[in-house]
Amino acid sequence: MKPTVNIIIALIMLLSVSSCSYLKKKQGEDILAIAYDKYLYRSELEGLVPKGITPADSMEIARQFIDNWIRQEVLLNHAESNLESRRKDFTKQLETYRNSLIIYEYESELIRQKLDTIVSETEIQAFYQANEANFQLPENIIRVSYVKIPNESKTKPSAKKARQLLLSNKPDDQIDLMELCEKSMFTCRMDDKNWIPFSDFIRELSLDIINQEDFLKSRTFFETNDSLFAYLIRITDYKTIENTAPVSLVKDKIRNLILNRRKSELINRMQQQIFEEALKNKEFEIL
């Protein structure tokens, strides 16, 4: 017999709520607790106790489960005894809920089988252009490249060369900069395609900037340092708060919006087709 089973059986002995704890109301089922005309069976605790926990923890989990079950049944019995019959009739609510669940499951299966989940770049671009006003930026964003140089190396020729290459617009110079950083043990971030929140960049470099908009408008290159490193920073592009977000930044959001619209259209078509079929077959009538 497994240890967990032994623990539960011992718990039954300790927490028996009546002398009928081992009466069989279901064939082969042991009763853990009785509350009014309800029975809690040992099988209902299966899978409740995780593997690998201590016997004491196993017993506590089982004890809490039984205690919660008893409390719920006591409260339920008290509520039923003190409520008028009309206030205990949930037939309509249960039927409405059941109907909603059935329809929801059918619609979910229809979506799973029929929904086209491929969204092209052309569709994304068209949606973006038609709804640009809905994609205002909630914060300032930047495209940025930078070189992080240990303070002991910031006066070396390699640091001066890194500055020159960072300011260059030539693709070959960007490759040369990455090779220089690798050889000189500098940290290099060359990324002029992806947008990042300016506030994240400020936190990353521990910059003290009071007015972000003024700062972004006044410079494209700056240097700063902390106790360990010097930073050469080039802001290649920026957009300030409440301007239209770049399409690359909201692409995933647009894709989800398009898919949600397709779901609604698919469900509406299905509902209309079913209704028209039922009308054609005279499956309902209004009296």
* CATH number for position 220: 3.10.50
Q: Please check the confidence at residue 4 and state whether its pLDDT lies above 80.
A: no
For residues 148 and 285, membership in a common domain is answered with no
**What SS3 state is found at 49?**
coil
b/e for 113-144, b at 16 or more Cβ within 10 A?
A: eeeeeebeeeebeebbeeeeeebebeebbbbb
For residues 128 and 116, membership in a common domain is answered with yes
For residues 119 and 79, membership in a common domain is answered with no
For residues 53 and 120, membership in a common domain is answered with no
Q: Please check the confidence at residue 109 and state whether its pLDDT lies above 50.
A: yes
Tens digits of residue pLDDT in 13-32: 444 433 343 344 566 678 88
b/e for 81-93, b at 16 or more Cβ within 10 A?
A: eeeeeeeeeeeee
Tens digits of residue pLDDT in 193-222: 899 999 999 998 888 888 999 999 998 999
Residue 259: which domain range?
92-134+248-287
- Structural domains of the chain, count: 3
Tens digits of residue pLDDT in 138-163: 999 999 999 999 999 999 999 999 99
For residues 147 and 221, membership in a common domain is answered with yes
Distance of CA 27 to the CA centre of its chain: 45
pTM, full prediction: 0.68
**Domain closes at, from 24, 56, 85:** 85
**Domain closes at, from 239, 259, 276:** 239
